[in-house]
Amino acid sequence: MSYQVLARKWRPRKFAELVGQEHVVRALTNALDTGRMHHAYLFTGTRGVGKTTIARIFAKSLNCERGESADPCGECAVCTAVDAGRFVDLLEIDAASNTGVDDVREVIENAQYAPARGRFKVYLVDEVHMLSKPAFNALLKTLEEPPPHVKFLLATTDPQKLPVTVLSRCLKFNLKRLLPEQISGQMRHILGAENIQYEDAAIGELARAADGSLRDGLSLLDQAIAYGGGSLQADDVRAMLGSVARGQVLGVLEALAVGDGTQLMDECARIASFSPDFGGVLDDLASVLHRIQLMQLVPGYRTEGDASDDSLLASLAERMGPEDVQLYYQIATGGRRDLSLAPDARTGFEMALLRMLAFRPQGGGDGSRAEQSAATSATPRAPAAPVRSAPSAPAAIERPAAIRTPESAPSRVEPAPVPQAPARTAPVLDANGLPNWDKMIDQAGLRGPLGQLAQNAALREREGQTLVLALQPIHMHLAVEPMVSQMEERVSQAMGERIRLRFVSDQGGGAETPAARAANARSAAQSAAEQSIEDDPLVQSLRREFGARVLPQSVKPFEQ
């Protein structure tokens, strides 16, 4: 008998075997048990999360010879035919290769005939967003009022491309990306049943590499088993994936924490010796920085998994400033995007790490968190003048920064000065008698993460000693402790009185924030710059004489 890949062999055949889609299973189970079934269902989600699998189980539930049920027997002729892919009343259509209106007309014509074997004729249309506009139009009427013996099950990875006329005729279920813990749990179950030896660290690597797709994870698992000669070892999996051990990433952060450039380059060389995917290493670095920031800013937070690393992460969380961690995270994600622009991947990786070593936010990130909270002022560790930005630096460091000099970098003893607002500065009031929030941000010295929170907030009203600030729902996650307390201290100093801050959700999105005004100003400046180029006589002459053209996005407004 030929070998059957794990993704097919372990494909769920009942709703109870599905992983991570409980919300969809519950809705479909209730519909089947009560007989309240819709005629058209739309399943959306990324690849490999169970869209077509759920559709096939649903088809079995409708046509099982033992009766309609959310728990098909799996043994009758209908159930076995569906599992084998040869049930005549389950018609699977690949919309990616059958996009034309003629293909849809054939479906519509055949839908009128009664099922050949089961109770229902089920049409499973995969990647339905690939249908052409005429094909959608031809399908609409039948989709809205199909014959009573027909059910439509549509699946897509890109629901935004579906016409609203189709969406309004379907019950929509959005399938979730699976968590690494869910994928690793299923892998352990399969490996135990297959009697294959494995290391937990190897499972963790594969689960993260699956990127939310169980099918991709099982395909990688098949590949890893073949690579390891029938067993699953962490070192083999890392070599196959081009990844590195978590300890290597922690070594990079340790070098950054002490500001040691030599140690940092040693860690780079050690990582490079594994011939890794440097983009993946930067992703791992960003993931660890995320966990460190949670330990710093969320009281009582404990990391999930890799418990042996907790003490190392806690040590790094104490020695790194929160603003340093924010900056390192943004440089890691920006460096990930810029790898394709570097002379080679290793150079781009090393430059991202050197950028972390060279820059730090003004007023934070130096020394331990305890030292930062104890010191209200200090001498900057580097004598260099502040810079606004550097051509090679990502947008994340286009804020006041100081360059770490080689002489001072290893020490990391004295914290950088925290911006202090002058005491009892009379606040500038706007037309409504409220403090001018744009000027308050400058007066209170709100920078870094505090500045990000302030820039995305709009001052709505004042209630006694409380300022009510509106945030759009997408920014409400920024208003957490200790960020709010720190901002209250800064604003109180600037206003010369004790002030409390209360953040409310701006559901309507009508509040104009400093960030929105700045974005509008940048957009206006960009439009003016592009128009200036269009009107330039020299540019027009070059177009006429030589057929020249202006490259899109190459025009930038002049910055003072």
Give the pLDDT confidence score for residue 304 in this predicted structure. 55
The token pair that represents 382 in the structure block: 């580097």
Rounded-to-integer distance, Cα 213 and Cα 33, Å? 29
| Secondary structure of residue 460 in the 3-state scheme | strand
Scored b (16 or more CB within 10 A) or e, 271-309 reads bbebebbbbbbbbbbbebbebbbebbbeeeeebeeeeeb
Of the two residues 353 and 413, the one the predictor is more confident about is 353
The pLDDT of residue 361 is 57
- How far apart CA 218 and CA 206 sit, in angstroms, is 9
Task: Return the SS3 of 177.
Answer: coil
Cα angle, residue 354 at apex, residues 353 and 359 outer, rounded to 5°: 105
Give residue limits of the domains in the chain: 6-174, 180-241, 246-403, 437-512
The pLDDT value recorded for residue 512 is: 84
Domain 180-241 grouped into CATH 1.10.8.60: yes
**Thinking of the domain 246-403, which architecture would CATH place it in?**
Up-down Bundle (1.20)
For 306, left (φ over 0), alpha (ψ -120 to 50), or beta?
left
Is a pLDDT exceeding 50 seen at residue 24? yes
115, 79 in Cβ contact below 8 A? no
Residues 529-553: pLDDT tens digits? 888 888 888 888 888 888 888 886 7
- Higher-confidence residue: 253 or 558? 253
- For 437-512, CATH gives 3.30.300.150
pLDDT at position 434 is: 82
Q: What is the mean pLDDT of the chain?
A: 81
Cβ proximity of 84 and 24 under 8 Å: no
Alpha-carbon distance 56 to 75, whole Å? 15
Mean per-residue pLDDT, 127-142: 86
How far apart (Å, rounded) are the C-alpha atoms in residues 234 and 239?
A: 9
540-549 contact pairs (CB < 8 A, 24+): none
pLDDT of residue 409: 43
The verdict on domain 6-174 having CATH code 3.90.1580.10 is: no
Tens digits of residue pLDDT in 72-109: 998 999 999 998 888 999 988 888 776 677 778 888 88
Q: Is the pLDDT of residue 353 over 90?
A: yes
pLDDT at position 303: 57
Per-residue tokens: 97: 């290769």
pLDDT at 140: 86
Question: What whole-number distance in Å separates Cα of residue 177 and Cα of residue 463?
Answer: 43
